[in-house]
A and B are shown apart, each in its own frame.
Chain A
Amino acid sequence: MTAPLGGWAGQILRVDLTGRQTRTVPTSPYLPDFIGGKGIATRIAWEELAPGTEPYSPDNLLMLMTGPFSGTLAPTSGKGTVCAVSPRTLPKPWFTYGGMGGNWTPELKYAGYDGIVINGAANEPVYLWINDGEVELRSARDLWGKDVFETQELLKARHGKATQVICIGPAGENRVVSATVHHRQKNCAGMSGFGAVMGSKNLKAIAIRGTGAVRIADPAGFVEACKKVHRLVHAGPTETPVRMQMGPTNVPCAHACPFGCATRSHDVSLKLGSKGGRKNIAVMCNGEAYEGGWKWYQYPTPDMEAEYTGELRTRAVDGLGKQAGDELQLQIEALGLSGWTYLTLRCWFLACLDHGVTELEGLELRPTDVDFWIELFRMIAYREGLGDLLADGLLPACERLDLPAIVKKTARWLEPMWGFPSHRDGRACEPQPSPLWVFDMLHWAIDSRDPLASHHQTGYIHCWFPPHFEGGSALVDRKKLEATFTRVFGEPGILEPGFEHLDAKTRVTKWFDDRAQLKDSLLLCDWVFPRVLNGFDSAEALQAADDYYGDIDAEASMLAPLTGIPFTSADLDRAGERIRNLDRALQIRNHGRSRVVDAAAEWVFEYPEKSDGSKLDQPLFDRILDSYYANRGWDLTSGWPTRAKLEELGLADVADELERLEGLAAPDRGDARPGPEERG
Chain B
Amino acid sequence: MPVTNIPASSVVLHKQTLCRGCRICELVCSATHDGACSTQLSRIHIAADDFAFAFPAVICRQCKTAECHAACPYPGRALCIDPDTGARYIDERECDGCGACADACPLRRTPIWEKTGSDPRVYIKCDLCRGIDGGPQCVLMCPWDALTYKQKRGP
Contact = CB atoms under 8 A, between A and B. Distances in A.
5 contacts: A6-B36, A72-B37, A184-B50, A223-B32, A258-B143
Contacts of B32: 219, 223
B134 to A, nearest CB: 9
A524 interface: no
A255 B53 contact: no
B20 A251 contact: yes
A278 B117 contact: no
B50 A185 contact: yes
A216 B35 contact: yes
A213 interface: yes
Interface string B83-102: 00000000000000000000
Contacts of B140: 227
B31 A219 contact: yes
B3 interface: no
Contacts of A223: 28, 31-32, 137
Contacts of A153: 51
A317 B113 CA distance: 53
Nearest to A7: B37
B23 A281 contact: no
B129 to A, nearest CB: 11
B32 to A, nearest CB: 6
Interface in A191-218: 211-216
Given A212-B38, A251-B53, A279-B53, 19 more contacts: A72-B27, A73-B24, A73-B31, A73-B37, A103-B50, A152-B50, A211-B40, A211-B116, A212-B116, A219-B32, A223-B137, A226-B28, A230-B24, A248-B17, A255-B23, A258-B24, A258-B143, A275-B51, A281-B53
A223 B141 CA distance: 11
B132 to A, nearest CB: 10
A234 interface: yes
A521 to B, nearest CB: 19
A106 B39 contact: yes
B41 A227 contact: no
A110 interface: yes
Contact of A211 (B21, B30, B117): B117
A113 interface: no
A34 B144 CA distance: 35
A214 B51 contact: no
B28 A234 contact: no
B96 to A, nearest CB: 23
Nearest to B23: A255
B1 interface: no
A328 B27 CA distance: 36
Interface of B: 17-18, 20-24, 27-28, 30-32, 34-41, 47-53, 116-118, 137, 140-141, 143-144
A110 B143 CA distance: 24
A185 B116 CA distance: 29
A248 B21 CA distance: 12
A251 B146 CA distance: 13
B22 A213 contact: no
Main secondary structure of the interface of B (DSSP, over half): loop
Most buried by A among B28, B35, B137, B140: B35
A211 B21 CA distance: 18
A275 B30 CA distance: 35
B24 A256 contact: yes
A161 B39 CA distance: 14
Nearest to A73: B27
Given A73-B31, A185-B50, A234-B143, A213 B23 contact: no
Query: Which of B30, B32, B38, B52 has its CB near the most chain A CB atoms (within 10 A)?
Result: B38
A259 interface: yes
A71 B23 CA distance: 10
B51 A278 contact: yes
A319 B25 CA distance: 38
B51 A213 contact: no
Given A213-B41, A213-B117, A222-B31, A252 B53 contact: no
Interface in A239-259: 246, 248, 250-252, 255-259
Contacts of B50: 103, 152, 184-185
Contact of B22 (A110, A184, A258): A258
A212 B23 CA distance: 16
B30 A213 contact: yes
Given A149-B51, A252-B21, A259 B35 contact: no
Contact of A212 (B47, B51, B52, B117): B117
A185 to B, nearest CB: 6
B31 A279 contact: no
A211 B143 CA distance: 25
Contacts of A222: 31
B111 to A, nearest CB: 8
Contacts of B40: 110, 211-213
A252 B18 CA distance: 13
Contact of B36 (A216, A251, A275): A216
Contact of A219 (B18, B23, B35, B118): B35
A431 B137 CA distance: 43
B119 to A, nearest CB: 13
A219 to B, nearest CB: 4
Contacts of B21: 251-252
A474 B52 CA distance: 38
Given A212-B117, A219-B32, A256-B23, A185 B51 contact: yes
Contacts of B22: 252, 255-258, 260
Nearest to B50: A184
Contacts of B51: 149, 152-153, 184-185, 275, 278-279
Nearest to B28: A73
A265 interface: yes
A110 B51 CA distance: 22
Contacts of A257: 22
B112 to A, nearest CB: 14
A213 B119 CA distance: 13
A246 to B, nearest CB: 8
Nearest to B143: A258
Contact of A213 (B28, B36, B47, B49): B36
Nearest to A106: B39
Contacts of B17: 248
Contact of B31 (A216, A248, A265): A216
